[in-house]
Amino acid sequence: MIAVAPLVFVVDDDPSVRKSLTRLLESAGYVVEAFAAAREFLARERYAGPCCLVLDVRMPGLSGLDVQQTLAAAGRRMSIIFATGHVDVPMSVKAMKNGAVDLLTKPVDEKDLLAAIERAVAQDVRERGEEVRVADILERVKTLTARETEVFALVVTGMLNKQIASALGIGEKTVKVHRARVMEKMRAGSVAELVRLADQAGVIVPTS
């Protein structure tokens, strides 16, 4: 689907580890960007292409778990593989609950690492596709007028035209016209499809 090689970010405070992982991943055909500290990585501009992050848990300053939380709080989706020398249960539970793809123990065997990266990139691509679709839907929603948006929001709740007319205090015929425009602008062939689009885009229905 995409011609460019996926980008793997490596964050580890140990220069030897950074260098060797970079070497290994490059030899496996990935493009690698390595960072010595979590802050440096967070400061990097967002990458639009398929990628994942190999993150050391234990670092001076922000730890791996801190990075995961910071990204989540900023709404930045990222497939994360944690690497740690010392696995403790509470830490792994926390990391996995927050959506880590995997948690590998150091020293990491290339087989495990490459498999995890493959999964992480796939997840990234999948989620990235989802993201694109949602953005598209949101773009369509933006083309709706205020009245059409209101009608859209009520249609997907399963209301009949008469009920919508009553709720909005307009004529039933007007509702019908708005509804047809919504179906057209949202490129929905049926009400069921319209409901699915709304669901995917997470349209919040104003229930005034």
Partner 1 sequence: MSWETQRLVAAAALTLIVAETAVIVWLLLRRTVRRRTRLVLEERLRFEALLAELSAGLIHVAAGDIDAALERALQQVGTFLGVDRGNVDEYVAGGPGVRIAWALPGLEESPRVMDADQFPWAAERLRRGEVVRFTRKDELPAEAVIDRASYERVGTRSKVSLPLRAGGPMLGVLSFGSVRAERAWPDGLVERLRLLSEAFASALERKRMELSLAARLRFETLLATLTATFSDLSAADFDREVQRALHRVVDFLGVDRGSLIEFSRDRRTTRSWAIEEWMDVGEFPWMAARLQRGEVVSVSQLEELPDEAAVDRRSYLAHRVKPQVAVPLLVGRTVVGGLVFSTVGADRAKSDELMRQLTVLGEVFANALSRKQGELEAQRLRRDLTHIGRVSAMGELTASLAHELNQPLTAILSNAQAAQRFLAADVVNLEEIREILGDIVADDKRAGEVIHRLRALIKKGDLEPTSLDLNDVVGEVARLMRSDATLRSVSMSLELAADLPRVRGDRVQLQQVVLNLVLNGFEAMREPGAGDGTLIIRTAREGAAAVAIAVEDSGIGIDEKDADRMFQPLYTTKAEGLGMGLAIARTIIDAHGGRIGAANNPRGGATFSFTLPAGTEDRP
Contacts with partner 1, residue ranges (CB under 8 A): 14, 16-17, 19-21, 23-24, 26-28, 58-60, 83, 85-86, 88, 105-110, 113
Q: Which is nearer to partner 1, 115 or 180 (CB)?
A: 115
Amino acid at 43: A
Nearer CB in complex with partner 1: 83/198: 83
Spatial neighbors of 88 by CB under 8 A, at least 6 apart, are none
CB 155 within 8 A of CB 163: no
State the virtual CA torsion across 28, 31, 35, 36 in degrees, nearest 10.
Answer: 30
At closest approach, how far in Å is the CB of 58 from partner 1? 6
Nearer to partner 1 by Cβ, of 95 and 108: the residue is: 108
Smallest distance, partner 1 to C-beta of residue 49, A: 24
In whole angstroms, how far apart are CA 73 and each of 132, 143, 149, 201? 20, 29, 29, 20
Q: How far is the CB of 112 from partner 1 (least distance, A)?
A: 11
Q: What is the DSSP string of 147-171?
A: HHHHHHHHHTTT--HHHHHHHHTS-
Rank residues 106 and 181 by Cβ distance to partner 1 and give the closer one. 106
- Least CB distance to partner 1 at residue 113 (A): 8
